[in-house]
Amino acid sequence: MVERRSHAPTIIDVAEQAGVSRATASRALSGYGRTSAATVERVRRAADEIGYRPNELARAMRAGSTGTIGLVVIADFTNAFFDRATKSIVDAARKRGYQVLISNTDEDPEVERGAIETLLEKQVDGLIVFPSATGHSEHLEAGNLGGRPLVLADRRLDDLGVTTVTTDDFTGTREAVRNAVSLGHSRLGFLITAANIAGQTTARPPALISSVRDRADGFAAGAADAGIPPEDQVWHFSEDVPESSEAAVAEMLDLASPPTVIFTSNNDMALSVLKVAGSRGLAIGREVSLVTVDDSPWAAYMVPGITVVARPVEQLGELAVERLVAEIESPGQPVEDIQLPTELIPRASVADLRSPAAGR
């Protein structure tokens, strides 16, 4: 008869049940040392009888590896980019025999710091971080990571000297503006997410995360290439919450000469344009045009389809895992700054104003 226990069964309980020493029980369950087949069978049967489950984390720590990767994602998983990137990282890690522990920081550097500490306490073998800071991040320095390798994804922190996998957002957004101008647009609106402000403003914040900075700089370069003067550019920087971004769109559209096309830095900003335009009965692709960064099923399937600067999200996640696992398993890999190309996908959300009947 199996004795009922008020605590989770331990290796000592297994040994008692099997009538062997603790060391013998441990060897039998772990598969090391010399233990007869009959003893192994008796110990395993005893473990099953009392419901013993080995502490896999402790066993992995003794072996020097837990087979886990810590992933620190900076934004809401409802955001299409982070949803796709996270799935890509999890799938790529699983193919290589690793599990992923995930933390979400909502663009807060202090939350990120705590998430890193927690993942290190869980003995992850390495970290992939979408950094929320715009400048120096002491908690990501090698000396504070206990020897764990680090790969940055989507965003750069140039002072860390670690491998980084990003996308060429500058070139993509520059090309997006050039494309709209080639279709006759000369009054341009830009709605840019900014994590370090409250509300929204027409003044560019002094610090933007690297990917957003690249997009804003690309938009500005495209306007400069086309000779669009500052007075024909309407810039709004918004906290990534609907109340702020929708207010910014409303201010743009309330101008005496509103922009004919609005470029947004991500899908959340684009949704605010769609909501405000829809509430005013303005037809996208006819009365106001829209371009955004990052493709998604809704952007492709809605009518009209939304012109996007598409980024290779799945490839970004795959490469981040590939480089991290290489460093985990063969320390001393060269530091790389990998930048993947983007692609402008034109759709019907940008009106061709060269036609006399088009536009406002």
- Please, what is the average pLDDT of the chain? 88
Residue 41: what are its φ and ψ, rounded to 5°? -65, -40
- 315-332 pLDDT, tens digit each: 999 999 999 999 999 999
Residue 302 has pLDDT above 70, yes or no: yes
DSSP structural state of residue 230: G
What do you get for the CA distance between the two ends of the chain, in Å? 85
- 192-249 pLDDT, tens digit each: 999 878 999 999 998 899 999 999 999 999 999 999 999 999 999 999 899 999 999 9
- 120-177 pLDDT, tens digit each: 888 899 999 999 877 767 888 888 888 899 999 999 998 888 999 999 999 999 999 9
Residue 318 has which token pair?
């795959």
User: Tell me, what's the pLDDT at 74?
Assistant: 63
Residues 240 and 200: their CA atoms lie apart, in Å, by 9
pLDDT band, very low/low/confident/very high, at 306 (cuts 50, 70, 90): very high
CB neighbour class for 354 (10 Å; exposed up to 12, middle 13-18, buried from 19): exposed
Residue 1 has pLDDT above 60, yes or no: no
Residue 350: closest CA among 299, 313, 311: 299
Residues 74 and 129: their CA atoms lie apart, in Å, by 8
Q: Which region among 41-55, 110-124, 282-296, 327-341 has the lowest average model confidence (pLDDT)?
A: 41-55
Q: How many CA atoms lie within 13 A of 117 on its CB side?
A: 8
User: Tell me, what's the pLDDT at 359?
Assistant: 46
User: Tell me, what's the pLDDT at 258?
Assistant: 97
User: Tell me, what's the pLDDT at 357?
Assistant: 54
Q: For a pLDDT cut of 90, what percent of the chain falls above it?
A: 58
- 7-46 pLDDT, tens digit each: 678 888 889 988 988 878 877 876 655 778 888 889 889 9
User: Tell me, what's the pLDDT at 263?
Assistant: 98
Residue with tokens 């233990």: 35
User: Tell me, what's the pLDDT at 58?
Assistant: 53
User: Tell me, what's the pLDDT at 32?
Assistant: 57
Q: How many CA atoms lie within 13 A of 45 on its CB side?
A: 9
User: Tell me, what's the pLDDT at 158?
Assistant: 81
